[in-house]
Structure 1
């Protein structure tokens, strides 16, 4: 319960913050803190990114020692890339759309399994400027999967701001979700 309350506070802070000119100072340590926690736990991570197009993985690679935790990952911007690289059934995509909790979950599970990583992260959503498949701009689903215990958490977000702000908020909240999962 305490961790869920802490996550809710982070979520509110991130949603309200101005990310238009980049990641605000108060959130810049989150990726590094996450990588350090993964190192301490001797855990590895992989990601499958759609709307963030590699920003999450790039944030990991910016941290010295990232090679100790990063197994690799995917940028699966199109439906075809999700199907070909992550082996997501076109039936799942047709039934749920790519902007859905189901696809975020499958993305996180697939990237962890394909890359033999302990943690898999899946980010999918609509950065804008136009809605996609009936989902408004700012709709984001993030899945974080722990392969060792075969458990996934998926959260839905509705971020405001520019395309860049939506993408950056998605990256930071994904790191917070990873921390939440590995601390449980």
Structure 2
């Protein structure tokens, strides 16, 4: 059996979060709002999606996403702890039960010493903090689509 695609993941998450009366928010860098866009394709998503932060520029990861300035200065924007702090920032800023944070390199060029396809996904929730590291193949769109599916999948794993 193949892994569920992002739309299937989104439909499951909207139903499950609605059942639990919980909410989600995202702080997205390389996906630039695609997580939230994928969730909003599902009817009823307004009951669970609190909002999202598109933090494409590095300084916005700090000012909007709540990522520590020193972390960004020392390691750059593509780092697992940046994803974790973005998830917590989305959760806090949007007053959601769950937060997702995504950062990485879609390509075609490396960034912050990381190769294209390097993606970090953070999850913050009630008594939950997780980070997933991905090395995705393909061009920009494949990397971004893979990051969305993986982020939704990470949340699903913690709810399932």
> Which range, TM-score by smaller chain?
over 0.9
Aligned to 1:141: 120
Number of residues paired by the alignment?
Answer: 159
Give the Å deviation of 1:87: 2.6
**2:71 is the alignment partner of 1:95:** no
Matched, 1:56 2:40: no
Q: Say whether 1:175 aligns with 2:152.
A: yes
User: How far apart, CA to CA, are the structure 2 residues paired with 1:61 and 1:81?
Assistant: 23
Please tell me whether residue 164 in structure 1 is matched to residue 144 in structure 2: no
Q: Which runs of at least 4 in structure 1 moved beyond 4 Å after TM superposition?
A: none
Partner SS state of residue 29, structure 1: helix
- Paired residue for 1:73? 52
From 153, 166, 169, the counterpart of 2:130: 153
Q: CA RMSD in A?
A: 1.4
Q: Is the 8 A contact 1:83 1:90 kept in 2?
A: yes
CA contact (8 A) 2:75 2:112 kept: no
Q: Which runs of 5+ in 1 are unaligned?
A: 1-8, 15-25
If the length of structure 1 is used for normalisation, what is the TM-score?
0.82
Q: Counterpart of 2:11?
A: 32
Is 1:45 paired with 2:24? Answer: yes
Deviation of the 1:96 alpha carbon:
2.5
- How many Å apart are 1:78 and its aligned residue? 0.7
Q: How much has 1:88 moved relative to structure 2?
A: 1.9
Displacement of 1:92 in angstroms is 1.1
Unaligned 5+ segments in structure 2 are none
Contact 2:105-2:116 at 8 Å conserved across structures: yes
Larger radius of gyration: 1
Q: TM-score, normalised by structure 2?
A: 0.94
